[in-house]
Copies of this chain bind each other. A is one copy, B any other.
Amino acid sequence: MTTIEIAQKLGISRGTVSRVINGHPNVNAETRRLVLAELEASGYRPNEVARSLVMKRSHRIAIIVFSEPRFFWEQVRFGVNTAAAQLGAMGVTADYFITDILRPEEQLALLRRLPGEGYGAIAIAPNDVLLLTEEIDKLSASGMPVLLLNVDIPAANRLCYVGCDYEQAGALAAEILCRILPAPGELVALALQDPVISIGQRITGFRRMLSKLNGPAVSQVLRFSRMAEGVYDEVLALLRQNEQIRGIYVALGALEQVARAVIDSGRIGTVAVVGHDLSHEIYGYMRQNAIDATICHEPYSQGYYAVKLLHNYLLSHTPPNHTVLYCKLEAIFRSNAQYYLNQADQLELLNL
């Protein structure tokens, strides 16, 4: 079915058919009704390829993230680039903005600047909920679709959220840690001083699952700054002074420091360590058995989905079916870590 077939059947021109398809105003109501009916009856689907060829629209999408952990956002970036490459022929370009994690105002500035620079859609990993909510609402009100990436603000007026369910991530960490504990003993969790919501949710989920499984309770929660200063020293001291500790849950991004403390305290094999995210450095520690498992949430796909969803919206102007897309929680051990380390290499094979 093409526009021309529809037009012939109705004895009108393709231009008119096209006008009703695209919802142009200047069309006789009766004609419109007829065309709509025929469209429906014939199951017409526009040829997007032809459409994008003639329209030559360009869609600029901005992706705003922050700086830490570096490797995590690099993987997101790779997904963004893959989607943009796939959609390049459709006029999509995606620009990636990395802001300083300690300067959330940089994100605010971008949010204010970008709409004036031709961007039609924004995905942002908000680095400061309080600071950004108002501006996000403003943008949405002005018609700019805003997708929240990796960190949700349910109260904000966003198109949708793409990222993980942090509470469930903490639950999975608890399930795994409970099962692999080398011996009965105490559990320690590491979190943030700041009330960063995602880390807090991980701890909540962790505790809930622990009690559901009748596992050991968390004997203490160590808290650190956002840059995770001093984790190594504190964990090292703790491991040396308290032999009862059998499990450590690292809810913030400091797995590497914990691994080093485990090694330097000679506790490999007598304390289980579970955390989040995966880098080559973390993998190195897994191979030394200083880290037992790590939980990821599809960094690559987060970037990929964000661009796809935004582009879909730009095309159809209808919001996605669901307002939340939870990424998979990936349980990673020594034996399957390679697969998660270099998604890039794997997909290079697809010549993408």
Residue from the list B172, B308, B329, B333 in contact with A172, Cβ < 8 A: B333
Interface size of A in residues (CB-CB distance below 8 Å)? 46
> In the bound complex, how far is the Cα of B89 from the Cα of A326, in angstroms?
29
Question: Which residues from B are CB-within-8-Å of A209?
Answer: 335
- What string of 1s and 0s marks CB contacts (under 8 Å) between A199-225 and chain B? 000000000010000000000000000
Residue from the list B47, B172, B321 in contact with A89, Cβ < 8 A: B47
> In the bound complex, how far is the Cα of B176 from the Cα of A292, in angstroms?
10
- Report if A336 contacts B (CB, 8 A): yes
Q: Is the CB of A89 within 8 A of B49?
A: yes
Task: Give min CB distance, A207 to chain B, whole Å.
Answer: 14
Question: Which residues from B are CB-within-8-Å of A349?
Answer: 160, 309, 320-322, 325
- Report if A14 contacts B (CB, 8 A): no
Q: Is the CB of A350 within 8 A of B50?
A: no
> In the bound complex, how far is the Cα of B316 from the Cα of A336, in angstroms?
32
Residue from the list B47, B325, B327, B333 in contact with A331, Cβ < 8 A: B333
A–B Cβ pairs within 8 angstroms, 14 of them: A47-B53, A49-B53, A50-B53, A168-B335, A172-B335, A179-B180, A309-B350, A316-B351, A320-B350, A321-B348, A321-B351, A327-B339, A328-B340, A329-B339
Interface residues of A (CB under 8 A from B): 47-50, 52-53, 89-90, 160, 168, 171-172, 174-176, 179-180, 209, 292, 305, 308-309, 312, 316, 320-322, 325-336, 339-340, 346, 348-351
